[in-house]
Chains A and B, each alone.
Chain A
């Protein structure tokens, strides 16, 4: 797209206290102009508070908020160049769609005919122009959301803030609206900051994923990085599709580090951890293979386990295992693979993985360069 990108957002050591409770704890964040950023985390992780701080609906206890390189920490919400799309859409129930969208212009004193024309144009962008005279309560959830989006966009913000925009929609509509958001982002070239608790949503939409937990940023990176190179145990668990295990360091070699946990021995890519320290590592569930024969005694990266659950998911099958070394361990195999070698609940199997598929998280982390072909995943789509 040729449109210039606007609205870089920067948070510097932003902290927010509610009395004793800390909602946001020293968050540093840089969102490049024109990018699509997802704040991802479980409920209560401070992602919504962070969004509201950027919007100016919440004051900061400490720290600064910069938008387009200007410090806006103390500025009124309407003077920041941001627009917030509320979780419940917050459409004005007494106004028609057109008047809802035109509201911001009315407040700025734009004459009636002009603001109507602009509102209609904005409704056309979200494909709601046919419903301009309807009241919000005459619209479906998805339609309300489109109107809310148009209302947020009419004041020509540099940054669009979306508070769990898709959570109220049914799954089918969610996927559809996801594509719609992406299209509008591409067409308008503004910065989108989108709060969600769905890692799937974040992966599908974001150029930049910010995983938050307990008011802190756990990891910032492209969806590929967050999924394949989780920095912490929390990220590995939250992002899903990972098995997290741990062991104590027994030997550090050039390429590998040896860990032991009980009777098992794990080999992980080299981390510089002192002997005896505990190292956590994750293995993607789809990189674990399943052996029907018992593991050889003394072999590494192999766990004996009992099948606890078999979940058919269409293209793949998830097999839940019970074993001593990981409280939750699952293997994902393709449905073809599964039909060739089916297992059922109660079967004893062996789970195995390659050394290179183990990724150390936490204080002793695998040092790897990100995969340059994948880091720009969503950006590529953006430039099509």
Chain B
């Protein structure tokens, strides 16, 4: 009597097959089941990622003319154009510089804000409320958020008016709007939260007794941060960095609205190509950008083992 009972509770593959009907027994055959389980995500990945990317790759080798936007071909012309143009290198340099500045600023902000949230806010509910506050920039659409900076930073905007009234500046500051400053400000405003969330997440996983242990061993406040908290939130820092860098590298909206045509970016180059219906060069530009971002992220991943965090 006890023998079959034991087998049932242990649910070995043999008993499972014996218990279920013929149809399900095929599905639950050890060889097929795992593939079925990964089917949905594979389908989504295929339709929304792999096929579009393959299309872009294919088109980047196409030819084009003014009245014939896609001519199936295999030409390296589009890539030659990309790499032979000095504009490409300048734009990459500007975009990389922008990303680097935004990355540094959001990293410092993200780390300090997360540190405050994780270690100085004691109650869990208050942490949640404050974290939600950080997401306020996302409560409205991207364009509106961008545009609302204009009355603030413009020539006769709030900031300039205040500064002039207080007598701090005589002439309105020109670099506030339609400048690199404005673009960086816009990015930081939007994307700091992408730093905060992963860093906060990894900080929350740090056992509080580790900090006490460090204090007990004689570590001062900044020594605890440097020796314990920073290394233990490295994976959060890496994930946040990937978010921010890949978003900023590909962005064109912020550059358009707040850069006011004064700031170049790779995203804008691609959009310009697209708007003049030059799809193959746009595709080639996209592929180069993709490769560039992948290299950047690969370098980051090399520094930190992200899998540990996931």
Contacts and interface: CB of A to CB of B under 8 A. Distances in A.
A151 interface: yes
Interface residues of A, number: 24
Contacts of B214: 92, 103, 107
A55 interface: yes
Contact of A57 (B216, B220, B232): B216
B228 A104 contact: no
Given A90-B210, A107-B223, A78 B216 contact: yes
A107 B220 contact: yes
A84 B218 CA distance: 12
B112 interface: no
A77 interface: yes
B26 to A, nearest CB: 41
A155 B214 CA distance: 12
Contacts of A84: 212-213, 216
Q: Which applies to chain B's interface (DSSP): helix, strand, loop or mixed? A: helix
A108 interface: yes
B207 A108 contact: no
A77 B216 contact: yes
B212 A155 contact: no
Contacts of B228: 92
Interface residues of B, number: 17
A92 to B, nearest CB: 6
Interface in B188-220: 207, 209-210, 212-220
B75 interface: no
A78 B210 contact: no
A57 B215 contact: yes
Given A94-B232, A103-B227, A151 B217 contact: yes
A86 B218 contact: no
Interface string B214-244: 1111111001000110011000000000000
Contacts of A107: 214, 217-220, 223, 227
Nearest to B228: A92
A90 B223 contact: no
A86 B209 contact: yes
Nearest to B218: A78
Contacts of B207: 88, 90
Contact of A103 (B209, B217, B220, B231): B217
B220 to A, nearest CB: 7
A103 B212 CA distance: 13
A93 B233 CA distance: 12
A239 interface: no
A7 to B, nearest CB: 15
A83 interface: yes
Contacts of A55: 216
A84 B220 CA distance: 17
Given A76-B215, A78-B218, 14 more contacts: A57-B215, A77-B216, A83-B216, A90-B207, A92-B213, A94-B231, A103-B217, A103-B219, A103-B227, A107-B220, A107-B223, A151-B213, A155-B217, A155-B218
Interface of A: 55, 57, 76-78, 82-84, 86-88, 90-94, 103-104, 106-108, 151-152, 155
Interface of B: 207, 209-210, 212-220, 223, 227-228, 231-232
7 contacts: A78-B215, A78-B218, A78-B219, A86-B213, A93-B232, A106-B227, A107-B218
Ranked 3 nearest A-B pairs via Cβ: A78-B218, A104-B217, A90-B213
